Structure 1
């Protein structure tokens, strides 16, 4: 009889544990669903009615076919104008080029104004160049015109552990540079030619779109970032302000009523192949009553994952830290 009683107690404990984890799972799922529903339901303005489209460019810029298709869809919609809200340190050169080209095609159909909310550096500034008008907050960061190619070299580390990497190549510059052998002068020169070629393209884009003198172009293309206030004098931006400033410019220059409602457009795809994992983590933490911690977790993890997936030539502002 005692054994039966112990079994009953143990079963009840097990049932309570299962119920707890099931409830937690349901709460996490509901929280994640609520986030998704809120992001979709937040825009009550129909794409088939006149409106101002808002597109957000944030995080690391990479090749993104879904975003290109989104911009093409906006071009076919009844949007009267497009506000490009930017807060990004840049990304890959090809991803930034793809975004710029898509924005210029869109600008042929509808006026596009960029609003730099926090930072539009490197590849993100390339995106801003795709707009007809650039507005920046007074203390936003803009510029960082330049290209970088980074790769680690662990030659000395391998020596300390007694490891030697050997390879058989079809030619001296195949797979060069690589992290396992010292970089040869020929390999360095080959990479430098890539960087210089992309840098010349970037400088030409700035010169063409911003109509700068040679002296001013030399100043803004040395790799530095500038505040919006500095960028105004250097012709990197057209006005200081925010989205209201952009709406006023659209009304003044393009005849788009300032009272026309804004619709935020988003791609239907998650940010990365790890999006489901980030969403689940965010939902669980939020369900436990820590929404700010959930947001911090999501942004930190997303930034780390995006940077880890970058490769090739970069138009990216990343301040170095010592220590």
Structure 2
């Protein structure tokens, strides 16, 4: 029989990393990597998550792609230093989850933030004339306070998003919705606590997760290779991004960029 791809991939474990804040670039990269896992028929996937979460829509698209891949591939999620909020949501797309005892996880919930610069603008003498088609067209505008009606509209939207999050966790972890709600109040907890709550299956390292993935796929853990799939980038670009992320200024700039890009959007995000 002639395989469409080298049979070597059938004896390998694919590995995908999700690090940092989840946004459009993360979604595009991960979805492309998941397509490769499916096309090359990897029997198992090790999903390494070290993320505080991010945008709702991008997290949901990654989750749905993982659920689809579950039909063909064994998926084990490994929670790293932090896997919170949207990071947890994505982890629900795996059949099994491993976390370190000290992993920071949880923060199940939704947050939406806007900036109100009304007082500052008054001090510098700046005002805006707004022509709009409806009373809520400029909701979350930075030059005025929210009205009570606007707050209710946004709260209803947040509640619906929260309900989606809770339902997904309940279904993925075989828990009752009301049980999930007892700890899905935005609080963070350790990997050890997550196991007690039923959010993760086992405590252990990424290597423990790799061994489990190999076993589920019927592979010899000592012989099965683990291949990290990532979008090819020029060497200079990789080196620059690593140096930027390793510096406090680089991390600050990345967060500022993320905050500006997602202002006014509901987020599944833990931001200490």
TM over 0.5: yes
- 1:318 paired with 2:268, answer no
Aligned equivalents of 1:101, 1:202: Cα separation in 2:
13
Pick closer, same or farther for the CA change 1:196–1:254 going to 2, 3 Å.
same
Quick check: 294-303 or 235-244, which moved more? 294-303
Quick check: 180-189 or 296-305, which moved more? 296-305
Pick closer, same or farther for the CA change 1:207–1:48 going to 2, 3 Å.
closer
- 1:111 paired with 2:63, answer no
| Partner residue, 1:309 | 261
Aligned equivalents of 2:240, 2:48: Cα separation in 1:
27
1:198 CA displacement: 0.7
| Partner residue, 1:96 | 59
Pick closer, same or farther for the CA change 1:234–1:294 going to 2, 3 Å.
closer
Pick closer, same or farther for the CA change 1:280–1:46 going to 2, 3 Å.
farther
- 1:53 paired with 2:7, answer no
- 1:263 paired with 2:263, answer no
SS in 1 for 2:52: strand
Q: List aligned pairs for 1:125-274, cutoff 5 A.
A: 125-259=88-222, 260-268=224-232
Q: Is the 8 A contact 2:105 2:190 kept in 1?
A: yes
Tell me the TM-score normalised to structure 2 length: 0.87
Aligned equivalents of 2:240, 2:212: Cα separation in 1:
41
Q: Is the 8 A contact 1:61 1:90 kept in 2?
A: yes
The alignment's C-alpha RMSD in Å is 2.5
| Partner residue, 2:48 | 85
Aligned equivalents of 1:302, 1:51: Cα separation in 2:
34
Q: Is the 8 A contact 1:52 1:261 kept in 2?
A: yes
Q: Is the 8 A contact 1:114 1:128 kept in 2?
A: yes
Aligned equivalents of 2:48, 2:168: Cα separation in 1:
20
Aligned equivalents of 1:316, 1:214: Cα separation in 2:
21
SS in 2 for 1:67: helix
Q: Which has the higher helix share?
A: 1
Q: For 2:246, which of 295, 313, 318 is the aligned residue?
A: 295
Quick check: 299-308 or 196-205, which moved more? 299-308
Cα displacement string for residues 193-250 of structure 1 (whole angstroms, at most 9, x for unaligned residues): 1111111111110111111235531222111111001111000111000122213323
Aligned equivalents of 1:251, 1:48: Cα separation in 2:
13
Greater Rg, structure 1 or structure 2? 1
Quick check: 189-198 or 130-139, which moved more? 189-198
Pick closer, same or farther for the CA change 1:82–1:301 going to 2, 3 Å.
same
| Partner residue, 1:5 | none
Q: Is the 8 A contact 1:57 1:84 kept in 2?
A: yes
Q: Is the 8 A contact 1:142 1:236 kept in 2?
A: no
